A and B are shown apart, each in its own frame.
Chain A
Amino acid sequence: MDASTQPRSELVVCGLFAALGIAIFLGAYTFTEGGTYLSGPRAFPQGVGVIMTVAALIRIGLVLKESRRPASADVAASSEDTLTDGIPSVESLMRGAPDTEVESVTQDGAAADTKLEAEPDSDREQQTLVQRLVGILKSPGGLGGISLAYVLALGQLGFIVATVLYCWALSMLFHPRPKRAVLLTLVASGLLVAIAWLVFVYWLRAPLPRGVFG
């Protein structure tokens, strides 16, 4: 977990792992036993359950210990995000450089997109209902919901219709100027689905869901 993540959420996650470990251990008692305990079907999953529970409890203990540290120690810890031997961490490198975006704004046509993302908080209050809805749909939860709807629709509407709609929705959501790109994203989604259909159905002979439209 990142340093910024709340210890409380880590406690919840570890608590869930501990509970799962206990459930795995107890659930193994429902198996039909055979042979000796060590060579039977229970021993291994129960061992996994025990290790999972113990690891989760140790982690909980460590998190609680960390959270009791004085604030000054946290400040000291954060100041450790400095260079050693002149080689920064992978995490800091993967984040990219601060000047990268500045350059991309000045050198590339994507300046407008970046401006949109850098909207100040005051402007956010004036967002329309549609913009807020788009924001929700673009969140991981929103994307999960759209994907859930897609999987539900896949069996009913079939691969072609459901997937064109799904790809189009995703394309529109992430397009910087969606109003101007309705047709373009629809055509691109159709093409993408057509390529996938040709590859899987005609080349790989793998059937895809047909749905009510056959």
Chain B
Amino acid sequence: MLENLALGLATVIQPVNLLFIVIGVALGIIFGVIPGLTATLVIALLLPFTFGMDALPSMLMLLGIYSGSMYSSSVTAITIRIPGNPGSAVMVLDGYPLGQKGRAGEAIGMACIASVAGSLFSVMVMILVAPVIANVALRFSAAEYFAIGLFGLTAVAAISGTSILRGLLATCLGLFLATIGTDALLPAFRYTGDMPVLMTGVPLLPAVIGLFAISELFRLGGADQAMTAASRTIGKVLPSAKELLRCSKEILRGSVIGTGIGVLPGAGATIASFMAYSETKRSSKHPETFGKGEMKGVASPDAASNGVTGGSMIPMLSLGIPGDAVTAVLLGALVIQGVQPGPALFTTQTGLVYSIFVGMLISALVMLVLGLVSVRAVASLVKLPPHYLIPVIALFSFVGAFANSGRMYDVWLALGFGVIGYLLERYGVPVAPVVLGIILGPIIENAFRRAMIMSGGDLTVFLTRPLSLAILMLSALVILLALRSKRTLARTETVGV
């Protein structure tokens, strides 16, 4: 492993790779600070910029965007009480009161340091755990892959808001879209309506751009959000050494929670940050200080939300299963580059995998420098008015859809998915499961059919193989836990507590 890491380091420290890490983190910080631009949306918007690049620099840039936007979305929560994305929603509770006390800079600085610590911790766990899981997964047969595919779908239970049934409907839509085109195993056309353009299936990129970016464009217009920003006193940026020491235990707590939650399919940054906040408050000797500007209430959830980044990469890289919407888009980016994540990736593309590991570590360090240096400039970006933001989203959405294939068909498809995405969200159906369905559909179907061919149509093959049975039982457990937490969520209107 150390040899591979050294090889990865030698690759990543090449100037071009370092440059793309810096560009990625900077873009993530810049875009992530704008309210409404979530990490998923930012990556979907900037994905087309990676078409002309090699797999490694493009992944380094996208991962930099991921980390950078996760951190900077806390800036708006602290300065104007509008979280940049749901993962930083809990930052409002203590970050904003700190801002009101003129300690916004310190709170942002603490958020940056905690984010970096969370990222570093989770990436180190990923380096240790992901190859082990991939090694076990190399022994998987079609039955295990089918079970793993279903396990990936359990993410739907967590990313479906308050209704799992609506999430299931969206997943089925994605699974159906994935079946359109030429059959993978037999010479048969499915739902193509004799249209040649549909024979290659529904491309992922226009679907991602349409569902996330173009639907957001319609939503922003409908909401007519003024996105007004309050200019605040930022104050000093670095928290004192004493404050850092006081919060160090909470940063570690948040990092552990974030990494653990990140590994679970679909749990994501929102649950991780709320759980970290809740645990920090519960274990505090002075819980009454929370909600009034307690620095620990900033440190712990921010470490958790960034701890998710490394955690969620573990199933994505080692099993080829995206744990949430962001990793689904990242997985799509790798596939577009001709790289198929999964256990085989660790043997066929060892250099790429370990370069990604090292790249994520360096990204975290770059984020520390850029994050602290740019606090004042980033805080002013919060004021970007909608009459500039909306054309930018629109332009990059449509151009991105076209540039991938050079076909107007993809632009129409992106527009169509935009309308579908807007309508789905308008009527309470989440869009992320649609993408999950499109990605996991072929994995699940092909594994199922191969298992049926090998077992002579015996459906019990999924239960008689111990590994397959164990994964299916784990999936059932995850769903049961999600159902239980949903019931609590619906009853109390709170999350993660």
Residues of A within 8 A of B (CB): 1-2, 5, 9-10, 13-14, 17, 20-21, 24, 27-28, 31-36, 38-41, 43-45, 48-49, 51-52, 55-56, 58-59, 62, 80-94, 96-97, 100-101, 103-105, 107-108, 110, 113-114, 117, 138-140, 142-144, 147-148, 150-151, 154-155, 159, 163, 166-168, 170-176, 181, 185, 188-189, 192-193, 196, 199-200, 203-209
A172, B391: Cα distance in complex, Å:
10
**Which of B331-339, B422-430, B465-473 lies on the face that meets chain A?**
B422-430
* 18 pairs, A vs B, C-beta closer than 8 Å: A10-B427, A13-B429, A28-B190, A38-B452, A39-B453, A41-B183, A44-B445, A62-B165, A87-B278, A97-B92, A108-B230, A117-B224, A143-B221, A150-B394, A170-B394, A175-B385, A204-B403, A206-B52
> With A38-B452, A97-B92, A101-B228 in contact, do A85 and B497 touch (Cβ < 8 Å)?
yes
Given contacts A108-B383, A140-B221, A173-B387, 16 further A-B contacts (CB under 8 A): A5-B427, A17-B173, A34-B187, A41-B188, A43-B449, A52-B173, A55-B168, A82-B493, A90-B495, A103-B230, A104-B80, A110-B226, A140-B218, A140-B219, A140-B426, A151-B415
Residues of A within 8 A of B51 (CB): 204, 206
The verdict on B367 contacting chain A, using a C-beta distance below 8 Å, is no
The verdict on B166 contacting chain A, using a C-beta distance below 8 Å, is yes
**CB-based contact A86/B226 at 8 Å:** no
**CB-based contact B168/A51 at 8 Å:** yes
Which residues from 274 to 294 on chain B have a C-beta closer than 8 Å to any C-beta of chain A?
274, 277-278, 281, 290-291
CB distance from A76 to the nearest CB of B (A): 11
Query: What 1/0 mask marks residues of chain B from 158 to 192 whose CB sits below 8 Å from any chain A CB?
Result: 00000101101100110110010001011111110
Question: Is chain A's binding surface mostly helix, strand, loop or mixed?
Answer: helix
CB distance from A172 to the nearest CB of B (A): 8
**CB-based contact A35/B453 at 8 Å:** yes
**CB-based contact B457/A151 at 8 Å:** no
A45, B270: Cα distance in complex, Å:
33
**CB-based contact A96/B81 at 8 Å:** yes
A31, B189: Cα distance in complex, Å:
7
**CB-based contact B457/A36 at 8 Å:** yes
**CB-based contact B497/A34 at 8 Å:** no
Query: Chain B CB within 10 Å — which of A48, A59, A62, A207 has the most?
Result: A48
Contact of A41 among B186, B217, B418 (CB under 8 A): B186
**CB-based contact B222/A139 at 8 Å:** yes
Which residues from 256 to 287 on chain B have a C-beta closer than 8 Å to any C-beta of chain A?
270, 274, 277-278, 281
**Which of B3-11, B82-90, B122-130, B320-328 lies on the face that meets chain A?**
B82-90
CB distance from A27 to the nearest CB of B (A): 6
Query: Chain A CB within 10 Å — which of B179, B231, B459 has the most?
Result: B179
**CB-based contact A55/B459 at 8 Å:** no
> With A21-B172, A41-B186, A192-B395 in contact, do A81 and B457 touch (Cβ < 8 Å)?
no
Interface size of B by CB at 8 A reads 94
Residues of B within 8 A of A176 (CB): 385, 387
A164, B70: Cα distance in complex, Å:
32
> With A86-B290, A147-B415, A159-B399 in contact, do A170 and B390 touch (Cβ < 8 Å)?
yes
**CB-based contact B387/A185 at 8 Å:** yes
**Which of B12-20, B113-121, B358-366, B406-414 lies on the face that meets chain A?**
B406-414
Residues of B within 8 A of A (CB): 48-49, 51-52, 80-83, 86, 89-90, 92-93, 96, 163, 165-166, 168-169, 172-173, 175-176, 179, 183, 185-191, 214, 217-219, 221-222, 224, 226, 228-231, 270, 274, 277-278, 281, 290-291, 383, 385-388, 390-392, 394-396, 398-399, 402-404, 406, 408, 411-412, 415, 418-419, 422, 426-429, 444-445, 448-450, 452-453, 457, 459, 491-495, 497
**CB-based contact B229/A110 at 8 Å:** yes
**CB-based contact A147/B172 at 8 Å:** no
Residue of B with least CB distance to A51: B172
CB distance from B2 to the nearest CB of A (A): 37
